[in-house]
Amino acid sequence: MVKMGLDAYRFSISWSRLIPHGKGPVNPKGLQYYNNLINELTSQGIQPHVTLHHLDLPQALEDEYEGWVSRRIVKDFTAYADVCFKEFGDRVKYWTTVNEANGGAQGGYGFGFLPPQRCTLPSIYNCSKGNSSTEPYLAAHHMLLAHASAARLYRKKYQVKQQGFIGINLLVLGVIPLTNTSEDIIATHRAQDFYIGWFLNPLIFGEYPSTMKKNVGSRLPIFTSRESDLVKGSIDFLGANFYSSFYIKNNPGSLKKKNRDYIEDMAVEVKRYSRNGTFADEIPVTPWILQGMLHSLKNDYGDFPIYIHENGQLTGRNSSLDDWPRVWYMHEYVGGMLDMLRNGLNIRGYFVWAFLDVFELLNGFERSFGLYYVHFEDPSLRRQPKLSAVWYSNFLNNRPVDSKITMKTEENSSVLANSPLVHIAT
């Protein structure tokens, strides 16, 4: 990291590693592990940005009261956060309570492709229990209350002394009307309410979006006035993960179904955005869509600080170390950050996903996002820099970029600029 030139590193603390049973005694080896990591980062001038929950709920809490679908999680999460603030807060200044809270609620309790894999059959995923009609909304509600409770604790007990900040992370999906009809445009706004307003509306205004109240009805939990006040204003920043975008088509017929799931409540058809020339495994490069989404959020919710916590390109696990798709991807998004700042967006930081090849939750070891290739078969887990690592290091250290890389990225940018889809998406 030092050689590359990183000045910040984002990682998640595993609740189970620190407090194996979810509550009660702290594991001294877990405590030592994170202290060693944080101390090494800070000694090298690298700022730690720490996430408290990244889909890995202690199994004991899942067994005891079914995790996020129970209000009991709020108390246990707050106690866990208290341990982290107390033990690490003298060196950690940036805290994120939950990673991709909206994605976790939707994917873990609606569709069942994320832990804890709860959903209602029929589903292509093997869910043994759950209720796709109610549980995504319950899980999200308790995530919001747990976040707000931890934020209140931090502000009351630690923030003045430790001089840090606390926020939450959301998966920001790009949403684009399939056509220019008023029906699809309105449906796109509704999809944004369901995807992002689901969390941001309570965090900024203290209540769920009116579109959700109307379509979900009594299945949508209600904040008491005290809870509304607790949740409202409980973020110092928003963490945003951005990868994919989708076309949105109005689909009012889905509201006629009696036992609706999350997507049917949204009353839209969703189609993944793609562009010609993109390989099946690659994520389309669309910084203008990210910029449009962030401007929309600013217009709707105000000018709060934003950290791009995840943004990266997918390649095959054993593909070439000359990972041109990732180099081009980073070239466009890093350049896009400058455009976004010049256009008035309050972006405070940008993190590439990921520094190293890791076990990817949706792809295992078959696909990777890392700037460094990891030899998983080697007992020492030897690392090798990919071309993207070289490009990023040159950028971070203000060194000239190899002329071949410059030529290749300019060539790709020219193709992108001439794509008619650019004009549809803006």
Active site residues: 100, 310
Q: Which two tokens stand for residue 145?
A: 């209350």
Spatial separation of the C-alpha atoms in residues 334 and 264, rounded to whole Å: 36
Residues linked to residue 175 through DSSP beta bridges, in sequence order: 246
The angle that helices 287-301 and 198-205 make with each other, rounded to 10 degrees, is 30
Spatial separation of the C-alpha atoms in residues 111 and 377, rounded to whole Å: 33
Spatial separation of the C-alpha atoms in residues 84 and 80, rounded to whole Å: 7
Spatial separation of the C-alpha atoms in residues 393 and 105, rounded to whole Å: 36
- What values do phi and psi take at 209, rounded to 5? -60, 145
Long-range Cβ pairs for the range 10-14 (8 Å, 24+): 10/48, 10/49, 10/50, 10/51, 10/309, 10/351, 11/37, 11/48, 11/49, 11/50, 11/51, 12/50, 12/51, 12/52, 12/53, 12/54, 12/56, 12/99, 13/50, 13/51, 13/52, 13/84, 14/56
User: If you ran DSSP here, which 8-state letter would residue 356 be given?
Assistant: B
